[in-house]
Homo-oligomer: A and B are copies of this chain.
Amino acid sequence: MTIEQARARDAADPLRHLRDRFVLPEGVIYLDGNSLGALPRATIDAGRDMIEHQWGERLIRSWTEGWMASPARIGGKIARWIGAAPEEVIAADSVSVNLFKFIVAALRHDPARRVVLSEAGNFPTDLHIAEGAVACVPGASLRVVERDALGDALDGDVALLLLSHVHYKTAERFDMGAWTRRAHYAGALVCWDLSHSVGAIPVDLAAAGADCAVGCGYKFLNGGPGAPAFLYVAHRHQAAWGNPLSGWMGHAEPFAFADAYAPGAGMERWRSGTPSMLAMGALEAALDAMADVDPAALEAKSAALFDMFAEAGDALGLECIVPRKADARGSHIAFRHPQAEAVMRQLIAQGVIGDFRTPDVLRFGLTPAYTGFEDIARATQMLGALLAPADCTAGPASV
C-alpha cells in the first residue's frame, strides 16, 4: 500500500477524529501504546487542575470534595471496557500488588485446593507475584506449564487459574468464556489479567462468568506512566473474599481510626494505602476522553491495522508470531527476527517507536484510537529499508 492509499484509508476511518484527542510528537510514529499509552490532550488541563487547584488551592479539603471517592468512581468508568457492573471495579495500586491480593484471597476460598496454575512465559510479574503469594499461604504452590498443557494441569488441586487474556509478547488471546467454564468445571477460580486487552478490544467478564480480574491503567487506557491499576470481583464473591493487604483505605470506616480492621463494603475493601491523586486524576481524564468510544469499533480498526502490517511483514519475509485470526489476538503485532534488538534500536533512532522483547521479538503496538494507516505504511517502509541489504555483501548484520 502506498502512502497515498494509506492516507485515503485514514480519511475514510470513522475513528480518525479520536487521533486529535492525543499528543503525538512531531517526527515520531508511535507504535508502543501497548506499553505506555500516549498523552490525551485533556490530561494536560486535568493535571494542571489537579496540581494547582485541587492540591494547591483546596488542599486537604479535596479529600472530601472528590478524592476519597475517586477509586470507585474511576472503577465505575472502567467497567464499560470490561463487561462489568460499575460497582464491581475499583482502581488501586499496581497490577502486581493487586495480583497478590487475589491470589491469596483465592487460595483462602477453598482450603482443600492449594495450587495456583499459570502459563510459562506469562507476563513476568504475574508469575513473580504468584511465587510470593503462594509463600504466604500454608501448603500452597505455583504450577507453571506451557499453554498446551494447561488443560491437563487443571486438576482437582487447582484453586486458581491465573491467565493473561492477551499475551504481552505473542498477542495470543485466550477464549475467556471457554477457559473460565473449563476452570469452573474443574472446581477452580479464574483470575484474568486484562493488561494487554482492556481499552483495545472488547472484554466481557460477566458473559464469561469470570471470578476476578486485574488490569493496567497505562497501556490502552492511556492513564499515564505507572497509572493506577484496577481490580474486578464478581458480585457473587464480594462479601466473602478478603484483602490480605488490609490497609486503612479499605476499612469500613477509615476515619473512625479504630485499632481493629473491618473490611469495607463491596470493592472498597480492595484498597490498601492512600493512592496518588495525581495518578488517579490522569487516569480519570484519560477514561473521560474515551468515554464515548465503542470498544467494538476499536477492535475493528485494530484488526484493519494489523492486517495491513501483517501483509507488509509477509512481503518482507518476516515471521509473524501473532495469530492471524482477529478474535484470537490482542492489539499488537510481533515478529521474530534474529537481530530484533539492533533492528528496533535503528527504527527508534529513525522515529518509529516499537519495542524489543527478549530474545528476538520486534513488537509494535496498534492503538486504534490514535494509530493511523499512514503510520503503518511509513513504519513498514522504514522497516523494509532497514532489513534490505545495503549492498550484495552486507546482510542484516549491518543494522
Interface residues of A in 203-248 (CB under 8 A from B): 218, 224-229, 243-248
A381 within 8 A of partner (CB): no
Q: A93-B93, A94-B275 are in contact. Are A248 and B128 (CB under 8 A)?
A: yes
Question: A197 an interface residue at 8 Å Cβ cutoff?
Answer: no
A388 is an interface residue with CB less than 8 A from chain B? no
The answer on a CB contact under 8 Å between A257 and B358 is yes
* A residues 114-156 in Cβ contact with B at 8 Å: 120-125, 127-129, 131-133, 135-138, 144
- For A93, what are the chain B residues with a Cβ–Cβ distance below 8 Å? 93-94, 97, 273
Q: Give chain B nearest CB distance to A208 CB in angstroms.
A: 25
Known A43-B51, A97-B93: A59·B277 in contact at CB below 8 Å: no
- Assess whether A385 is interfacial by the CB under 8 Å rule: no
A133 to B38, CA, bound (A): 37
**Chain B neighbourhood of A254, CB < 8 A:** 124
Q: Knowing A128-B261, A248-B128, A257-B357 touch, does A278 contact B273 (C-beta < 8 A)? A: no
Segment 245-267 of A: residues with Cβ below 8 Å from B: 245-249, 251, 254-261
Chain B residues with CB under 8 Å of A124's CB are 248, 251, 254, 257-259
A14 at interface by CB-CB < 8 Å = no
Whole-angstrom distance between the Cβ of A132 and the nearest chain B Cβ: 4
**Cross-chain contact A225 with B132 (CB below 8 angstroms):** no
- Minimum C-beta distance from A128 to chain B (A): 4
A190 at interface by CB-CB < 8 Å: no
A153 CB to nearest chain B CB (Å):
15
- Check if B128 sits within 8 Å of A55, measured CB to CB: no
Residues of B within 8 A of A135 (CB): 244
Q: Is the CB of A129 within 8 A of B245?
A: yes
Chain B nearest CB from A312 CB (Å) reads: 22
Residues of B with C-beta under 8 A to A54: 225
Q: Knowing A51-B282, A226-B279, A282-B51 touch, does A59 contact B30 (C-beta < 8 A)?
A: yes
Contact indicator B128/A246 (Cβ below 8 Å): yes
* Cβ contacts under 8 Å, A355 to chain B: 60
Per assembly, the copies of the chain total: 2
**A5 sits at the interface (CB 8 A):** no
Q: A44-B51, A104-B136 are in contact. Are A277 and B224 (CB under 8 A)?
A: yes
Q: CB of A3 within 8 A of chain B?
A: no
A259 and B121 contact, CB distance less than 8 A: yes
Given the contacts A246-B128, A272-B94, A226 and B277 also touching, CB distance less than 8 Å: yes
With A and B bound together, what is the CA distance between A83 and B267 in angstroms? 39
Task: Let me know if A274 is at the binding interface, CB within 8 A.
Answer: yes
A179: Cβ under 8 A from any B Cβ:
no
| Partner pick for A51 among B39, B100, B259, CB 8 A cutoff | B39
Q: Does any Cβ of B come within 8 Å of A36's Cβ?
A: yes
B358 touches A244 (CB 8 A): no
Chain A residues packing against B (C-beta within 8 Å): 23, 25, 28, 30, 32, 35-36, 38-39, 43-44, 47-48, 51-52, 54-57, 59-63, 67, 93-97, 100, 104, 120-125, 127-129, 131-133, 135-138, 144, 169, 218, 224-229, 243-249, 251, 254-261, 272-280, 282, 348, 353, 355, 357-358
A selection of 16 A-B contacts at a CB cut-off of 8 Å is A35-B60, A36-B60, A38-B59, A47-B47, A51-B224, A51-B282, A54-B225, A60-B353, A95-B273, A132-B243, A132-B247, A136-B137, A224-B276, A226-B274, A227-B276, A228-B276
Give the 7 A-B CB pairs with smallest separation, nearest first: A94-B273, A96-B273, A96-B247, A276-B279, A132-B246, A136-B136, A125-B248
Please give 16 more A-B residue pairs, beta carbons under 8 A apart, in addition to A36-B55, A218-B274.
Answer: A36-B60, A93-B273, A94-B247, A95-B274, A96-B247, A96-B248, A97-B247, A129-B245, A129-B272, A132-B247, A225-B277, A226-B276, A255-B358, A257-B358, A276-B276, A279-B279
